[in-house]
Structure formats: C-alpha cells, structure tokens
Amino acid sequence: MSSAKEEMRETSALLYGIIIAHGLDDAAYEEAVHDLINSVKSKSPLEAQHGCLLASAHALERRISIMKKHNHVLNNMSLYAVYKEGVETIGKNFYHLGI
C-alpha cells in the first residue's frame, strides 16, 4: 500500500480493506483498522499514509455494508470506537487537504 504508483496503492488498499472486512472476526478487524489508522497518523512516507487511509476507509465502508446486509443495528455508530476514530482521521486528512 506504499507504492509510489497511485493505481497500485489504490488497488492494494481496496483489496486489503475487503480482506480484513470479510476475513477477520470483530476483535481482529478492529485491531487491523486501528493499526491502519495509527499508520496514517505516523511519520511514515506520504504514500504509505495515503495507502493506509484508503485501506481503512474501504474496510470501514465494507464492514458497515456487511452489517446492514445482516440487519445488525446501526442506530448509533458513534458507540463503535474504531468507526469513530476512522471517520475522525479521514475527516482530519480531508481538512488538511482543503477538501
């Protein structure tokens, strides 16, 4: 996810997000997303931060989709710490980009 080629970074982030959203139990999923979020906040190269940001967004979106499909209650997503932290991190990065 830290490739200098943007297309490769985007594709690998998408695949990683799908794999962790579908292939891990809840605890392992939350740990994986938390690790991605920490990588976004770290002093790692910009390409790696971008890849981790994309992967965390894909994983969050995919897991919410799975929850909706299985009719899990989504009344208050702010109760889920990993979702809250993920959305805050994504929002902060958009803010820094001026989006």
Q: Which pair of structure tokens corresponds to residue 29? A: 């999923």
List, for residues 17-71, the tens digit of each pLDDT value: 999 999 999 889 989 999 999 998 888 898 998 899 999 999 999 988 888 888 7
> What ranges do the domains of the chain cover?
6-97
Between 91 and 52, the higher pLDDT residue: 52
Phi, psi of 35 (to 5 degrees): -65, -40
Q: Which pair of structure tokens corresponds to residue 31? A: 């740990």
Count of Cβ atoms closer than 10 Å to residue 17 Cβ: 24
Q: Rounded CA gap, 85 and 79, in Å?
A: 11
pTM of the model: 0.81
List, for residues 21-34, the tens digit of each pLDDT value: 999 998 899 899 99
DSSP state of 2: -
- Torsional sign, CA 11, 15, 18, 21: negative
Between 98 and 6, the higher pLDDT residue: 6
- Give the pLDDT score at 55: 95
- Give the pLDDT score at 98: 55
